[in-house]
Amino acid sequence: MSTASLDLPYETGAILAALDVPRSRVAKGANKVRSPLTGEVIAHVDHLDADATRAVVGEAHEAFLQWRRVPAPRRGELVRLFGEELRAAKDALGRLVSIEAGKIPSEGAGEVQEMIDICDFAVGLSRQLYGLTITSERPEHRMMEQWHPAGVVGVISAFNFPVAVWAWNAALALVCGDAVVWKPSEKTPLVALATIALFERAAARHCDTPPGLCGLVLGDREAGAALVADRRVPVLSATGSTAMGRVVGRAVAERFGRAILELGGNNASIVCPSADQELALRAVAFAAMGTAGQRCTTLRRLIVHESIHDAFVQRLRSVYAGVSVGNPLEGDALVGPLIDQAAYKGMQSALKQARKAGGVVHGGERHAVAGCDDAYYVRPALVLMPEQAGPVVEETFAPILYVLKYRDFDQALALQNGVPQGLSSSIFTRDLRESELFLSAIGSDCGIANVNMGPSGAEIGGAFGGEKETGGGRESGSDSWKAYMRRSTSAINYGLTMPLAQGVKFDI
């Protein structure tokens, strides 16, 4: 029976059927899947336990042994075909992202576009997995460096970018000659099932693709922990909270695996006296309120020069008061729901702590949306803080923007860098010295530092990731592909003598 016969809101059943997700995978499982748009249950899926997870890794390992023999440009062809499938299914998959993660339609579609973009990038890369040749100190020798496939790459992803983050990892890993096993967020299994169904369509059009090349493990921590502990997974990419990364990073290190950690952010923007305030207002609005504050790069701290602070905050308050909150599939709301009740409680608790620490809170209350009583919509909160303390130094995954005042530039930089996280940052200024200082070695300590734009909304061409408690991983563009391969250094003697390096003598 097809999934289309399921009576699910927002054509979920029809979308799943169109994307080849069998009804048996979404109708009868023991675990409920809710849409944050309405709070209602939209599917029931089964979770895999640790043994079943290990079996998926075993299949992927077998697939890897074949896949590494396929020439990289042929591997790129599979990713190109997958990109074609994504293009054809962009509207349907984007809508499913909105239904399951609560994103506004342009962001749902944007997430799929990001998958397409990384596929394009990876296809080009499949002809450029280059090593080095290195001159040797020994006569008639040469040295070189090659990059070889690493093995099975484990991918653990968060709810807020439920498919793009997998694609960042998988598109690169596949052209690098790796197999992939994905443990998506337990909050977003449907988009994962749909994505893998699209991948299987592409695989069916590519005769070199071994079965089990892209495994899927629906499940919670138990499944995640089994993936993390498996020695057949040399590279484990984990995206989520810092608390998760602490556990996962340790477990991967314990078995000498390689972890790519993409964890929480606590991103700031500095607004300088010379800033184009109109531009800054627009950027801040999207960065702080977009995706209902549920991006790792969401703007959470705004550091404004005292000379413009009051006037800027006044303008910001009117932007906050005017922004539309609601079900983005029923109207043109710009701020959709929080993912669940726990996120709402976390937000209210942070606001309570902020008040206790002397903060003045504007907004932040629950927002009623007709027909969505079990969903958690909130007005974004703007909080004027006397100092950077308490909840300001933590990541609360909700739309709270803390505003701080600064007097001199060194103080602004100290505030910007004065939190445990180090993902993204930005500055608004027309002063060249300020912007260059911000980007310099003594400026922002984050993995991402932008000028005259917000900290969120990265493109796939650059390496993405952050420092300190954000985990240090880099994914997506630039040379991030190297994390999915193992490096082999070779020295070759094409002469008839056996000189040793560093002048060592060992004549027999």
Distances (CA, A) of 467 to 247, 262, 425, 449: 17, 9, 12, 12
* 151 neighbors 162 (Cβ within 8 angstroms): no
Binding characters for ligand NAD, 422-451, by CB under 6 A (x = yes):
-x----------------------------
Is 229 among the residues that bind ligand NAD (CB under 6 A)? no
Q: Which stretch binds ligand NAD (CB under 6 A): 236-244, 321-329, 355-363, 379-387?
A: 236-244
The residue from 97, 175, 192, 225 that contacts ligand NAD (CB under 6 A) is 225
> Token pair 């790796």 is at which residue?
178
Is 477 among the residues that bind ligand NAD (CB under 6 A)? no
Q: What are phi and psi of 209, to 5 degrees?
A: -85, 115
Is 221 among the residues that bind ligand NAD (CB under 6 A)? yes
The DSSP-derived string for 171-201 is: HHHHHTT-EEEEE--TT-HHHHHHHHHHHHH
Is 101 among the residues that bind ligand NAD (CB under 6 A)? no
The residue from 186, 208, 394, 445 that contacts ligand NAD (CB under 6 A) is 186
Is 397 among the residues that bind ligand NAD (CB under 6 A)? yes
- Using CA atoms, how far apart are residues 219 and 376, in angstroms rounded to an integer? 24
For the CA atoms of 123, 128, 129, 130, what is the dihedral angle to 10 degrees?
A: -170
Question: Residue 344, CB half-sphere, CA atoms under 13 Å: how many?
Answer: 17
Distances (CA, A) of 356 to 68, 234, 350, 389, 393: 57, 46, 10, 11, 15
Is 239 among the residues that bind ligand NAD (CB under 6 A)? yes
Minimum distance between the CB of residue 490 and ligand NAD, rounded to whole angstroms? 35
262 tagged catalytic: yes
Both structure tokens of 300: 């959470």
Q: Which is nearer to ligand NAD, 78 or 343 (CB)?
A: 343
Binding characters for ligand NAD, 259-298, by CB under 6 A (x = yes):
---xxxx------------------------------x--
Is 467 among the residues that bind ligand NAD (CB under 6 A)? no
> Token pair 């078995």 is at which residue?
255
Q: Which is nearer to ligand NAD, 202 or 392 (CB)?
A: 392
* 404 neighbors 415 (Cβ within 8 angstroms): yes
- Using CA atoms, how far apart are residues 181 and 58, in angstroms rounded to an integer? 10
DSSP secondary structure letter of residue 376:
B
Question: Residue 59, CB half-sphere, CA atoms under 13 Å: how many?
Answer: 17
Binding characters for ligand NAD, 156-185, by CB under 6 A (x = yes):
xxxxxx---------------------x-x
Is 363 among the residues that bind ligand NAD (CB under 6 A)? no
With CB under 6 A, what is the number of residues at the site for ligand NAD? 29
Minimum distance between the CB of residue 474 and ligand NAD, rounded to whole angstroms? 10
The residue from 169, 470, 476, 480 that contacts ligand NAD (CB under 6 A) is 470
Q: Which is nearer to ligand NAD, 209 or 269 (CB)?
A: 269
Is 47 among the residues that bind ligand NAD (CB under 6 A)? no
Q: Which stretch binds ligand NAD (CB under 6 A): 19-27, 154-162, 192-200, 403-411?
A: 154-162
Q: Smallest Cα–Cα separation from 189: which of 44, 301, 291, 294?
A: 44
Distances (CA, A) of 366 to 20, 29, 43, 325, 375: 37, 32, 26, 10, 10
- Using CA atoms, how far apart are residues 152 and 193, in angstroms rounded to an integer? 20
Minimum distance between the CB of residue 371 and ligand NAD, rounded to whole angstroms? 26
The residue from 190, 202, 244, 275 that contacts ligand NAD (CB under 6 A) is 244
Binding residues vs ligand NAD (CB under 6 A): 156-161, 183, 185-186, 220-221, 224-225, 228, 239-241, 244, 247-248, 262-265, 296, 395, 397, 423, 470
Annotated active-site positions, please? 262
